[in-house]
Structure 1
Amino acid sequence: MNYTLAPGTRIWILFAQIFGTTFAVVGLLTYCAYLQDIRESMKSLSESGQYAATAFILSVLVYFTWKSIWSCVVICKAAMNMDDATLSANKWIISSLSLTVGGLFTPYLMTLFPNNNVVSTIRPKVYLSKVFGMFMIVGAPLAMICYSIAMKGYFTSDASSYTAAIYALGGIFTVWGIANVATFYGSTKSVDYLSNGWMQFLANATLVIVTLELIVVLFESIFELVYAIGEIFYQGRQNFFWVLLNILNVVIYALYVALVWHVTWNTMTGIWQDQVDFTTYKAAENYQKNHPVPAM
């Protein structure tokens, strides 16, 4: 059986990651550039409420931009360093990292990889716990710092709900990130995991977070389809040409939703498989010897 990936697959993965990350950074910079205009548009809020709302959005964007950057680093390293067999066997791990930052092209490429009928050569729970630990340990403090700077001292009662949410979630994520990094970074962690109850608890808890994020992706796609259908009725009577365009738009959204559900569902079921096979392929075996827990 041939496990060679199609020519150019790795290049497309690298392109998708770099393009998506660049888009995220540009989006963050654009929001910062128009921050004052956005703040002034929230006329229904008090001045401190305006600062809190825009600062809250900024902190969320900062977190997800960092998450996109680190996902890009991890996925690009995997694409460049893993051989075809290893990359194919661990495709759902890569797919989950991309999906949770809004990516779809890379996960779609993962579904095109050979269906080797082999479990991962890297333990998904350990690998994802490491990566998400880095998301949290860096992203959460950055989000809280950016929120504090953007507030410019407007910490009044009108801003209390936003402030409490940011610092509570940021604190929890920071502690969680520290725990993940301290627990899962190391060359023997995949082996230690089998006999360590704390590691198993933390890994399962992290994988629940990953799964919840993937579920959000599923329902977000459904909402987009419902919105597209609603547009047909909301716009009222139209000529035949516009009706056809709206129907075409709904069909495109339906195909998009089908793709998202196919990719995301396969990814969710793939990352929850806890069996790991280090010996099915010679290439995978050699990689595992040199990288018991792949460096990121």
Structure 2
Amino acid sequence: MKGNRQTSSIRTLLMIGNVFGLISGLILLFVFVYWMSRAGVLVKDPTPEMQELAGYMPLIFSAVAFFSITNVFFCCYIINFLRKADDITLLNNRYIIALFSISIGGLFTPFVLAQMQNIQVQSTISPKFTISKGYGGNALVSGFAALAVYFGFSLNGFGQGVFGNGAADMAVVAIFGVILFWGVLNCLIFAMPSSQESWDKKGAAYKFMNFIATINLIIATFTLVLQLISAVLSIISIFADMFDRRRGFLGSLFNSMFAAYRIAMQLFIIYTINRIIKGIWAKGDQIYYQDYSKLAERQKEYEMQS
């Protein structure tokens, strides 16, 4: 009963956190658009100071659209999963949800998921299939949004027109075009009504599906490695801040007080990323996660005292 109450509370926190992340992302997007408008970029005849920046406006807004839609998609994906999954499914597949959150730099969701019952868990859904479906859906909507924004602005007289910046425009459009194509391909393979059945049968279609899913694992791993590098750089930065004399005695003392907490959070992200990478590349079609021993010991001590 205690475990059910704990899982229910965590589900509520995750729901609130991802709804907040969704709303925050949309607010930041509107703030960005408002700032660009006030700066005189969102006009067909910008001021001389904004002329150069305005020339790249289709590229800038297409990139902003891509990352904004990516944030919206994964927040909605996690919210939908939380709505449909029962407690056992949520417990056993928490690291797949953490992957989608970490993919967009999320910290709250992985941290909350770590508060669930710290036991050895086994994924009950295929990581390869689920990751491919999630990444494919995101590539479809975000790639389409980015291209739509670029051509929408360019064809309406903003910036330098279609491919007006030469190689830069061509490169960005090519990248988003490949992303869109990859999204369409993945959705046709993994998001159709018969996709799950074809995957489970392990027949002739499975070989091609598994090939595409492996490429998605490479993309997921690359994304996680970037987040891993970011976490390591954050730890280095924390240590640097602790010994920065320019902050003065009080500033250094304040940084030192929170340094252990900040470092612990980054170490947790590194640990989570490490487990996810090992899991998604493990043999078989399921991921097994050992508990975090030190965390487990502390949790057991707390439960014995409470």
TM > 0.5 fold call? yes
Shift of 1:16: 1.0
Shift of 1:177: 0.7
Structure 1 pair 39/201, CA: closer, same or farther in 2 (3 Å)? farther
| SS in structure 2 at match of 1:217 | helix
Q: 2:151 is matched by which residue type in structure 1?
A: S
Q: 1:100 is matched by which residue type in structure 2?
A: S
Structure 1 pair 30/262, CA: closer, same or farther in 2 (3 Å)? same
- Which residue is 1:137 aligned to? 140
- Which residue is 1:32 aligned to? 33
TM-score by length of 1: 0.79
Structure 1 pair 104/238, CA: closer, same or farther in 2 (3 Å)? closer
The answer to whether residue 123 in structure 2 is matched with residue 123 in structure 1 is no
Number of aligned positions between the proteins = 273
Q: 1:73 is matched by which residue type in structure 2?
A: C
Shift of 1:122: 0.8
Q: Which runs of 5+ in 2 are unaligned?
A: 42-46, 287-306
How many angstroms apart in 1 are the aligned matches of 2:85 and 2:163?
52
- Residue 207 (structure 1) aligned to one of 217, 227, 230: 217
Shift of 1:147: 2.4
The answer to whether residue 270 in structure 2 is matched with residue 267 in structure 1 is no
Structure 1 pair 249/36, CA: closer, same or farther in 2 (3 Å)? farther
Structure 1 pair 115/225, CA: closer, same or farther in 2 (3 Å)? closer
| SS in structure 1 at match of 2:184 | helix
- Residue 223 (structure 1) aligned to one of 203, 214, 233: 233
The answer as to whether partners of 2:93 and 2:123 remain within 8 angstroms in 1 is yes
How many angstroms apart in 2 are the aligned matches of 1:5 and 1:266?
26
Structure 1 pair 205/38, CA: closer, same or farther in 2 (3 Å)? farther
The 5-angstrom pairing of residues 26-65 of structure 1 reads: 26-36=27-37, 47=51, 49-51=52-54, 53-65=56-68
Percent identity over the alignment? 23
The answer as to whether partners of 2:55 and 2:159 remain within 8 angstroms in 1 is no
Moved more, 199-208 or 140-149: 140-149
The answer to whether residue 120 in structure 2 is matched with residue 110 in structure 1 is no
Moved more, 185-194 or 125-134: 185-194
CA RMSD of aligned residues (A): 3.1
How many angstroms apart in 1 are the aligned matches of 2:39 and 2:279?
41
Deviation string, structure 1 residues 103-147 (Cα, Å, up to 9, x no partner): 111112222333553432111111111111111111112112212
Deviation string, structure 1 residues 205-264 (Cα, Å, up to 9, x no partner): 011111111111111223333344445666x54542223224345444322321221222
- Which residue is 1:284 aligned to? none
Deviation string, structure 1 residues 155-214 (Cα, Å, up to 9, x no partner): 488822431232111111111111101111234143145652211110010111111111
The answer to whether residue 77 in structure 2 is matched with residue 74 in structure 1 is yes
Q: 2:32 is matched by which residue type in structure 1?
A: Y
Q: 2:147 is matched by which residue type in structure 1?
A: M
Higher RCO, Cα 8 Å, sep 6+: 1
- Residue 94 (structure 2) aligned to one of 87, 91, 94: 91
The answer as to whether partners of 2:56 and 2:160 remain within 8 angstroms in 1 is no
Q: 2:90 is matched by which residue type in structure 1?
A: L
| SS in structure 2 at match of 1:8 | helix
How many angstroms apart in 2 are the aligned matches of 1:53 and 1:5?
52
- Which residue is 1:253 aligned to? 262
